[in-house]
Each structure stands twice: as C-alpha cells, then as structure tokens.
Amino acid sequence: MPSPPPRAAAIRLTLLHVGVVMLVVAALLGAVFLVTQRELAREVDRAIAAELGELRERYDPAGLASLIDAVQRRSATRGRSGALYLLIDAGGNRVAGNLPAWPDAAPGAARWINFDFELGEPADAVRHPARAAVHTFDSHHLLVGTDVAQRNAVAQHLRDALAWSTLLAALLSGMVGWWYSRRVGARVRAAARACDEILAGDSAARLPARAAGDEFDQLACAVNRALEHAERQTLAARATYSGAARELRVPLHRLRMRLESLAQRTAGEEMREALGAALGDLERAQRTLATLLQIAHAAADTPLSQAERIDLAELARSMVELYAPAAREAGLALAVHAAGSCAVTGNRQLLAQLLASLLENALKFVPAGGAVEVSVAAQGDGGAQLSVADNGPGIAPAQRAAVLEPFGRLERDAARPGSGLGLSLVTAVMRLHHGRVELAERTPGLVVRCEFPPAASTAVPRGSGSG
C-alpha cells in the first residue's frame, strides 16, 4: 500500500488559519487599544485645560492674590486626585503650588509639557510621570498638570489584556483549525483508501458517505454513483464476455468433436483430407476467437488478475528461445538484449502472449534475411521498457493507429494469413498493465515499444501464483 498521505496539508491549513485569525484579532484589538489610549490622553488634557481655564478667570490683572489663593487652596486639597499646581514668578521662585520645583523645560517654551516628578518623602521617593499645561500671566508662570501614572497603568493593563486575548485567539483558532483539518484530512484519506481498494480490484468498494451529509458527502455520493455506473457496465461487459465465450466455444467444440469422429471413421482419402482442412480452419477460427475474447476481456476493464512480480527480462529470453527455431526457419536473425533481471508487476500469461504476438508479427512480415531484436530495459523511474525492433517493411506513420485496433490490417497484407489481432492484443494487454504501446520508425523497419509504469503506480496485485 502507498504510505498514508503526509499531514502537510493539515499543518499548512492550520498555520494559515492561525495566521489569519491572529492578524485580524491583532488589528482589531490594536485599533481598540489605540483609540482607548488616545481617548484617555484627551480626557486628561480636557481636565487640565478646564482647570487652567478656571484659574485664568481668577487672575485679576490688579493682583495675583486671588490666583495665589486659589492655587494654594487647590494644592492643599489637591483638588482632583493627582492634580499638580505650580506658580512661579519671573525669577523662577515658587510662589504657590504642590510641586517643589519647575520641571526642566523652560517656562513658557511650550504650552503642553510632559515631565517626571518625585512623589513621597525624599528617602523613598517614586518618580511619577505627569502631563501639564503652562500659562504665563505677565511675569508669572502657572503650571497645571496631572499625575498620569495611573492612566499609564490602565493603558498598560489594557495592552496586556489585548495581547493575551490575541494569543488566546491564536491558540483557540489553532486548535479548532487543527481539529478541522484533521477531520477533513481523515475524510480525504478515507476516500483515497476507497479509491486504492477499487484500483486494487475491489470493484464493490465505495467512498464513505453519510446520508445527511455535507458537501463532502455530496461529492462522495456523486463519485459513488459514477462508480456504480462503471461497475454495472463492467459487469455487463463481463456477462457479455462469458456469454459470448460460452455461446461460441460450445458449438465450435461440438463441431470439432463431430468432425474428428467423422475423420476417424472415414476411409476415403479425399474425404479425410477435406475433414483435415476443415479441422485446420476450425483451429484457426478457434485461435482468433481466443485472441478476440482475450481482447474483449481486457477491454471490459477487468482488473489485472493473477498479477505478480515478473522478471520481464527472463520472460523475454524464454520467449525468444521458444521462437528461435521458427525464426531460423524463416531466415531471420532473432536476438535478445535482456541481461539480468527487470521486474514488472503483471500477469505472466498475458505478457507472454504479448511477446508471442510481437514475435509472430515479425515472423510474418519481416522478409527472409532480416533481423529482429527483442530488448528489455529497466527505466530510470522504476518502470520498464520492452521493445521489439525489426528491419522489415515498417508501417507508415498514418497507418500506425489503425493497426493497433482489432482487425486493423494494412492493405498490402490483406493476402497474408493472420487475424490482424496481434497488435490490438498488445494494446489491450498494455492497457491492463497501465502501460502504453508506441510504434516507431526505424530505417528501415519498425519498433514496437511497450512501456511499463513504475510498480508503485500500478494496482496492488491480488493473490499470486502464475498458474
């Protein structure tokens, strides 16, 4: 059996799924984070601006007193929690406020400033970030700000929460994706297994499908309907085959028995000769019928029976040896180039018959003095090539397809004996072996090349024994 398909597809699909989910979730939550952060910052700025506005209204061009008073009051209670105030004079001296000193930036340089300040006793002071607005009243500078440590902490928490959510989403989507692709993968593998079984000859095997099904089941049902149809046709073809075999062979057999017993009882020489000729004709018809039935059987798309590992080189040597005396008698030089061994998966009888057809064709069509070469060679891809080459009259390219069909004979050979089935048998046998036949030119002559696919791509042999 071929190894189960790798999980590569499931892994790829899962990774893709996780990637897409992470991207979407990260984009969404990132946007939420940015918007929230900006909104928080604006809220702080709005509060500061409002506070500053109020204090500016308290400023009396006549004197600072009410402003100082307001700043001092607010500083004491700290007003809003975390509110910061500082009023300095032109010399930079603190007039009022709860900040010990003006931050680094020069007063009046910018309207909005960000700075750090120390909170708590000097011994264990903690630096806090702050944001403030600055306003200049004639010679005095007023800073109104807010400790933003808490706001930053909120943003930090939000960022962490969003990051964890993204990770969780990725994890969940990974699990779901993996589970789903495994499920899909399992169904695809089940379908592939069923296909392998069918190829291996179990024509009753079907793709698994549930009645209340999804698209997979619909697909499986459609494939099963097609298989059903093909099986019915195959069965019909086989029934036709066995019917034809029986209905033709049985009467031929009866005829033969009759002729034989007549020939045995007849005394007259003339009669005996006629009966002998009739028996000869009968024998030819019988052989043609056998070949024709063999082709029909192969065409009925029956799985290759009794398939086993066969040494094609050994078979070629043995067939060439069998035909050697006949070739010598016909004045042909018959050679075989099939050293060592070359394994193919196939039916020994059919392959022997294929070789016999090719050799008999060569015997028939190559004139005396010609040469016939049978070669077997393993191919780089694990397949094999069997070829029979001669230096006879060859076949014109336009007619090559025709001679591969049953009874496809060339006009010039019409007078010769033979059924014209040889090459179509070769075609049928090669089709059963998932291989192909090619007729090629030789100068002069013909090469018939039979190419066998690598063993792994042919159906798994059922049973064994050459019989």
Partner 1 sequence: MNILLVEDDTEAARHVVAGLREAGHGVEHCGDGPHGLRRATTGGHDLLIVDRLLSGFDGLRIVSALRQHGGHRPVLVLSALGTAEDRVAGLRAGCDDYLVKPFAFAELLARAEALLRRALMPAAPHSVLRASDLEIDLPSRCVTRGGRAIQLSATEFQLLEFLMRHAGQVVTRRMLLERVWNLHFDPQVNLVDAHLERLRQAIDRGFDHSLLHTVRGAGYVLRA
Task: Name the minimum Å distance from CB 370 to partner 1.
Answer: 16
Q: What is the nearest approach in angstroms of partner 1 to the Cβ of residue 174?
A: 52
Residue closer to partner 1 (CB basis): 229 or 254? 254
Which amino acid belongs to residue 198? I
Strands 384-390 and 371-378: antiparallel
CB 208 within 8 A of CB 191: yes
* Residue closer to partner 1, measured from CB, 322 or 401: 322
Task: Considering the complex, state which of residue 225 and residue 246 has its C-beta at the smaller distance from partner 1.
Answer: 246
Specify the residue, 134 or 423, whose C-beta has the smaller distance to partner 1: 423
- Compute the least distance from the CB of residue 390 to partner 1, in Å: 16
* Shortest distance, position 259 Cβ to partner 1, whole Å: 10
Yes or no: say if 198 and 227 are a contact pair by the CB < 8 Å rule: yes
Provide the H-helix boundaries in 200-311.
Answer: 215-265, 269-299
User: Smallest gap, in angstroms, from Cβ of residue 329 to partner 1?
Assistant: 7
What is the C-alpha separation between 276 and 400, in angstroms, rounded?
37
CB 130 within 8 A of CB 117: yes
How far apart are CB 432 and partner 1 at their closest, in Å?
A: 11
Question: What is the per-residue DSSP string for 19-46?
Answer: HHHHHHHHHHHHHHHHHHHHHHHHHHHH
- Partner residues linked to 115 by β-bridges: 130
In whole angstroms, how close is the CB of 262 to partner 1 at the nearest point?
A: 10
CB of 180 to partner 1, least distance (A): 45
Q: Report the residue number, 219 or 255, with the smaller CB distance to partner 1.
A: 255
Distance, C-alpha 47 to centroid of its chain: 62
Q: How far apart are CA 450 and CA 99, in angstroms?
A: 99
Beta carbon nearer to partner 1, 51 or 308: 308
Q: Which is nearer to partner 1, 360 or 438 (CB)?
A: 360
Rg, the chain, Cα only: 48
Tokens standing for 121? 């006793």
* Helix and strand element counts for the chain (H, E): 9, 12
Collapsing DSSP to helix, strand or coil, 146 comes out as strand
**Burial status of residue 448 (CB atoms within 10 A of its CB: 0-12, 13-18, 19 or more):** buried
DSSP structure class, residue 434:
T
What is the Cα–Cα distance from 359 to 426, expressed in whole angstroms?
Answer: 11
What's the rounded Cα separation, in Å, for the pair 406 and 418?
12
List interacting residues with partner 1 (CB under 8 A).
242, 245-246, 249-250, 252-258, 260-261, 282, 286-287, 290, 293-294, 297, 305-306, 318, 321-323, 325-326, 328-329, 347-350, 352-353, 356, 360, 363, 418, 465-467
DSSP 81-95: TTEEEEEE-TTS-EE
**Residue 353 CB, nearest distance to partner 1 (Å)?**
5
Count Cβ atoms below 10 Å from residue 135 Cβ, excluding itself: 18
Nearer to partner 1, 243 or 397 (CB): 243
H or E stretch covering 198 = helix 149-199
- Residues 184, 277: Cα–Cα separation, whole Å: 68
Q: How far is the CB of 396 from partner 1 (least distance, A)?
A: 24
Question: CB-wise, 187 or 297, nearer to partner 1?
Answer: 297
Query: Is it true that the peptide bond before 122 is cis, omega within 30 degrees of 0?
Result: no
Q: How many CB atoms lie within 10 A of CB 366?
A: 24
| Least distance from partner 1 to the Cβ atom of residue 257, Å | 4
* Residue 93 or 265 having the CB closest to partner 1: 265
CB of residue 428 to partner 1, shortest distance in Å: 13
